[in-house]
Amino acid sequence: MTERRETGRPRSKPAGAKGRPGGKPGNKPNHKPGPKGRPAAARGPAPEADWSEGERIAKYLARAGVASRREVERLIVEGKVTVDGRKLTSPAFKVTGKELIRVGRRTISAPEATRVWRYHKPSGLITTNVDPEGRRTIFDELPRTLPRVMTVGRLDLTTEGLLLLTNDGALARALELPASGLERTYRVRAHGTVTPEKIEKLAQGITVEGVKYQPIRAVLDRETGANNWLTVTLAEGKKREVRRALESLDLMVNRLIRVSYGPFELVDLKPGQVDEVPPDLLAQAVGHLYEGLGGGDIAPRKAPATPRKPASKSGRSGLKTAPRPAGKPRGKPGRKPDEEWSTSAERSSPKSRLGSKPSSGKLSANRKRSKPR
């Protein structure tokens, strides 16, 4: 044992030290192991600033509209992202927004406030950025004036109706999670016979091909020949959940329209139309989701102060409000039958307090009323 300790002693000497054992006494302190014994020149870089209040660079650049988080991480690995002139090699870096951030030759501005849009997705569009089969996607049809946005969940190719868009990935994730408790409501046209027993099976929860679905509320609205219109409400939103659950009960879905997502409603949006949710109503509707769900470090961000006209009482905001007494439906010449166009169980669309129609009910000068053909 003694010989091993003696022969191992020279090997414990730092590799970068000069001289032999027993050299100049002045060099001995540099040979001592541990942080205190290292020479000043051998010490590492100065400690980083406190980034505990910052945000990860990939998330920050994704909110700024540069690219997705994965794409940003790839750009960082390629050395195309710099912060205050320092080239980053790892996405494990936080910024506060006060730094000079560049991606290639482009200087990145601070991300804008969180925004949400309601979009009426038409049937026949794919909810994805790029489709390998070359089919049209919703991003091919969205207005070019929109910033970089992402979808809150997805809708199938033939499913239409309300699809939420946002520029905040953390908020999108929070809205998607079942833990948010946000219910999705659909208007469903299905071929088959609807019985109380089938409605009860959905209400108790159902398992289809090994996939268990939580209780689904279904209400039969009316029968139109061999088809039936139902209002279906669920909270999970699993892949093709409505179609698979109903098909397991011999109800073949031939039209599916999502009319609400949590507090957001389709209301009177036309297919392909996009409408932004006002910032004050957005904070009121989902402000509690900024904390605790998928992004606990997120806090409500106020949108830039822009003057906005007061909302009229007869307008529509796309947010759920207290139910009003059903009025007498008003028919319009040339409009399709209710069975073809209706997105709600009632004949008339629900009203809310924000919209574009003047409270007087009269058309403005720049809008002409066309005569029925």
When pLDDT is averaged across residues 28-45 and rounded to a whole number, the result is 51
pLDDT tens digit sequence for 70-128:
889 999 999 999 999 999 988 889 998 889 999 998 898 887 888 999 999 999 999 98
In this predicted structure, what is the pLDDT of residue 302?
A: 42
Catalytic site residues? 156
| pTM (whole model) above 0.85 | no
User: At 38, is the pLDDT very low, low, confident or very high (cuts 50, 70, 90)?
Assistant: low
* CB burial readout 283-319, b (16+ within 10 A) else e: bebbeebbeebbbeebebbeeeeeeeeebeebebbbb
pLDDT tens digit sequence for 290-323:
654 333 333 444 444 333 434 433 345 677 765 5
When pLDDT is averaged across residues 259-267 and rounded to a whole number, the result is 94
Looking at the DSSP bridge assignments, the partners of residue 208 are 211
When pLDDT is averaged across residues 151-172 and rounded to a whole number, the result is 91
272 in Cβ contact with 141 (< 8 Å): yes
